[in-house]
Structure formats: structure tokens, C-alpha cells
Chains A and B, each alone.
Chain A
Amino acid sequence: MTRVDKLILLAVLGLALGSFAVAGLRRGAEVSPAQAQVVVEVDGRVVDKFPLADLKPGERRQVRGPLGYSVIIGGDNKVRMESSPCPDKVCVARGWISLPGEAIVCMPNHIVVHIVGPASEKSYDAVTQ
């Protein structure tokens, strides 16, 4: 291993820690979780959108993806993927999300569940299609 190799190792470590810091800051900067909305997307299309507070603890909603039905379940102002027909269950392992900006992504079933704040809706300058 050469000196440049070691520098690269350090740089990657720095990059990783830096991105942790950025992720933490972004989360802290987001707004009032009380008015958060849950957005459910399949293949990039919004199929469901409701206030997080409306999803009572234990309440389930089914989302239909190409592999079948994934089930999300509500908690105390939070939501998680309870079950999914995907092979890897990465989405289930993601656990609870509750803050605007957080997302559960199920790649195999093409489902994204994410949370937006009331303000972040208007924070786009423009949308191109």
C-alpha cells in the first residue's frame, strides 16, 4: 500500500463522515413533524397522500406494486413498512420514519413512501417534465 493509497482511504473516510454530518443537518433543518404528510409513490406516480397524524397506530394501508401488495402500518406519528413481497426486505428493515425528508424505498416493488412537510411542498422553484 502506497502513501497515495492511504490518502485515498482517509479521503473516503472523511467523505463518509461528512455525508453523515450533512444528512444529520438536513434532518435537523426540516420543519414541524406535526403537520407532516405521507406520500406514497409507485413508479414515480403519487398514489396516496395523507396527513401523518391521520394514520392511527396499528392502522394498515396496502400499496400495490408490480410484485404485489406492500403493507404500511402507522405508529405514534410515524410510519413503517410492515411487509412487502420483495425478496430483500430492505424496506421493512428501514424501520420507522416520521420526519419530513425521510423515505422508505422498496426497489423491487417500485414503491417509495416518504414524508413531506407543509412548507416543503412549495419549496420547488420549478418542475420540468
Chain B
Amino acid sequence: MEGQTRRLLYLSLLVAGGTALHVFEGFLPALSALPGAKLGLANLASLLALALFGPVEMWWVVILRVFFGSLLGGTLLTTTFFLSLAGAVGSTLVMLTAARLGRGALSLVGVSVLGAVAHNLSQLLMAAFLVRHPGIFFYLPYLLLFALPTGYFIGVTASFVLRAFPPGVKQAQWKKHPARGVVPRAWNM
């Protein structure tokens, strides 16, 4: 029972944190003239959900975060929202696949970089679908290059945050679901 409450508490915190980062990032001025080039701060919450809990919890955090973030940012059901959603769903699919296939060999950094690339790709696909023109793929090389430092930065940050979690949280989770989540190796990166 206590474990359930704790799980609920941490998940709520991750959704809240992800939402706050999502909104905060929307306030930042564009980093460059590149459409969709951003740090991906909100992905921190998703990565932590994956590492601490597992795939199902990660989906909850991602979907709720996009919904609440768009609601608070005033972009719900606009173009921006659909771009966010496409990026979030695409990157989550890829990160989960990578975490599963690369279990033990991959740390959160690798997962995060792949997630950043997938995020930009799926966002571009969605954008091309929305304007019904492939001309938008002009930005693809720049976005791929951009995903490298941002994905790396977010992955490293997530690893550091993870280390700060009380050991009880991680160990309880790992005893309960030894097969879920990413790589215990991520702890001692």
C-alpha cells in the first residue's frame, strides 16, 4: 500500500515537473531560426519515468504532460499542439524500443539522443503532413545535427537527477520489476 502511494506521488511529481518544463520552454525565445529546434527539457520527466518505473508509466507522463502543457501554454488543439504530440509520441516509441533492445548496454544518454532525433523526425513528418508539402524537409539535416547536443545534455542531466533520488525508490522499483525500465547501469554513469 505504501509502495502504491509512493509510486502515485512520484508519478504526479513527474507529470507536474514535465508540464512546468514544457510551459517554461514555450516561453523561451527561439534558439535559432530552426523550426522545432529546442532543448527538450520536458523529456527529462519522461526519461525519469522510464528509468524509475517503466514503459507504461512513461506513456502516462508523456501524454499527460503534452496535454496539460498545451492547456496551460494556450496551444491546445492548435498546430503547435499537434507538432508537440507527434514529437512526443514518436520519440517515446523510439526511446522505449531502444531501452528494451539496448538493456544493459545503453545508458539514459543514448536513449535521450535517440529520442531527440526521433522527436525531430516525427515533428517534421507531422509538419509535412500539415502543410502537405515535403519542402519542410529542408530543415532535416540541421535538426539532426541539433538533436545531438540537446539529446546528450538532457540525457546527462537525467542521469544526474536520477542519482539524487533516494536509493530506496530505485531499489524498490527494481526489485518489483526487474525486467522493466532502463539499465541499472544508468545509475552509476
Chain A contact residues (Cβ within 8 angstroms of B): what range?
20 to 34
**At the interface, yes or no: B89 with Cβ under 8 Å from chain A?**
no
Q: When A4-B106, A9-B113, A19-B141 are in contact, do A103 and B133 touch as well, CB less than 8 Å?
A: yes
Beta-carbon contact of B141 and A16 below 8 Å: yes
Whole-angstrom CA separation of A17 from B109 in the bound complex: 21
**At the interface, yes or no: B148 with Cβ under 8 Å from chain A?**
yes
Beta-carbon contact of B148 and A112 below 8 Å: no
Beta-carbon contact of A15 and B110 below 8 Å: no
Beta-carbon contact of A16 and B144 below 8 Å: yes
In the complex, chain A residues whose CB is within 8 Å of the CB of B140: 19, 23
Q: Annotate B148-163 by CB proximity to A: 1 below 8 A, 0 otherwise.
A: 1001100010000000
Beta-carbon contact of A114 and B132 below 8 Å: no
Q: When A16-B141, A90-B33, A107-B127 are in contact, do A5 and B117 touch as well, CB less than 8 Å?
A: no
Q: In the complex, how many residues of chain B place their beta carbon closer than 8 angstroms to a beta carbon of chain A?
A: 34
Q: Annotate B112-138 by CB proximity to A: 1 below 8 A, 0 otherwise.
A: 011001000000000100111101101
Interface centre among A107, A110, A112, A114 (most CB of B within 10 A): A107
Q: Of B106, B144, B185, which one neighbours A12 at CB under 8 angstroms?
A: B144
Beta-carbon contact of A4 and B141 below 8 Å: no
Whole-angstrom CA separation of A8 from B57 in the bound complex: 25
Give me the 8 closest cross-chain CB pairs, A-B, nearest first: A103-B135, A44-B132, A93-B33, A5-B110, A16-B144, A19-B141, A16-B145, A112-B133
